[in-house]
Amino acid sequence: MEITWYGGTCVRLRGRDAVVVADAYQSIVGPTGRGITGDIATYSHADDAPLAKAKGKRTRNGTAVLPTSLEASFTVDSPGEYEVRDVLLTGVRTYRDDAKGAQRGRGTAFVVELDGLHTIHLGDVGHLLGQEELGDIGPVDIACVPVGGALNPTKTAALIAQLDPKLVIAMPVCADDADCAEAVGKFFHEMGGDPTAQPKLSVTISTLPQETTTVLLESRGKV
């Protein structure tokens, strides 16, 4: 499976039989998606404001507008269990703050079973997980985790410890580059590892690291 980061919480998982794109909001990738195509598009919160004068297909249960390159994809934006092109997806209710969504709203974390790997995309999650949520999520191999958002680096590291993945994909979500650099630096100080970004990552079950390893990817999204 090939993993590419497009900025914000937008990640593409390219497997042998299907391509899953998470959080391809127009505010991140632009109205056309800059060529991002996928069979399945997941949205961790479907209330993202579209670009000015944006027209096009909206997500199933929200106001976010899909980039034109993903209008033909199967779109999922709410909790539940789904099977598309032999890809199993589990959407688990989360919140974008530590007050049950009272401040920043609700979200959905998606577990994607692709190429024999269990990947969780946490979106812009703002809290640690409870036992019920962890039970719904189950064991994961790879966790795509926001950095610089509602959770500070220590709580983000605690969230990763709850999930115990072998591979962590850091998703810097700060609006300001300087703030993001500081947040990423503090996060990698908590997690260990090298915060040097790489273009993309290819991983299989046999190449998963033995211990939790954190990776930073270069953004492929719009400037």
- Could you tell me which of 79, 43, 82, 81 has the C-alpha nearest to residue 64? 43
Structure tokens of 175?
């609006």
Is the pLDDT at 84 greater than 70? The verdict is yes
User: pTM above 0.75?
Assistant: yes
**80-89: average pLDDT:** 96
Q: Rounded CA gap, 38 and 55, in Å?
A: 20
User: What length is written for the chain?
Assistant: 223
Residue 1 to residues 97, 195, 213, Cα–Cα distance (Å): 31, 22, 17
3-class secondary structure, 168: strand
Helix and strand numbers, DSSP H then E, in the chain? 4, 13
- Please report where in the chains the tokens 């409870």 appear, as a residue: 130
Q: Which amino acid type is present at position 73? A: S
* DSSP conformational letter for 128: P
User: Is residue 70 within 8 Å of 28, Cβ to Cβ?
Assistant: no
Is the pLDDT at 51 greater than 80? The verdict is no
Contacts of 135 (CB under 8 A, 6+ apart): none
Is the pLDDT at 222 greater than 70? The verdict is no
Q: Rounded CA gap, 119 and 110, in Å?
A: 8
Q: In which band, very low, low, confident or very high, does the pLDDT at 34 lie, cut at 50, 70 and 90?
A: confident
Give the pLDDT confidence score for residue 176 in this predicted structure.
80
**What does the H/E/C string look like for 97-148?**
CCCCCCCCCEEEEEEEEECCEEEEECCCCCCCCCHHHHHHHCCCCEEEEEEC
- Could you tell me which of 208, 222, 211, 220 has the C-alpha nearest to residue 1? 208
Q: What angle do CA 6, 35, 57 make, to 5 degrees?
A: 95
Could you tell me which residue, 145 or 47, shows the higher pLDDT? 145
Q: Which CATH number fits domain 2-216: 1.20.1580.10, 3.40.50.720, 3.20.20.150, 3.60.15.10?
A: 3.60.15.10
Contacts of 71 (CB under 8 A, 6+ apart): 56, 57
**145-171: average pLDDT:** 96
Q: In which band, very low, low, confident or very high, does the pLDDT at 47 lie, cut at 50, 70 and 90?
A: confident
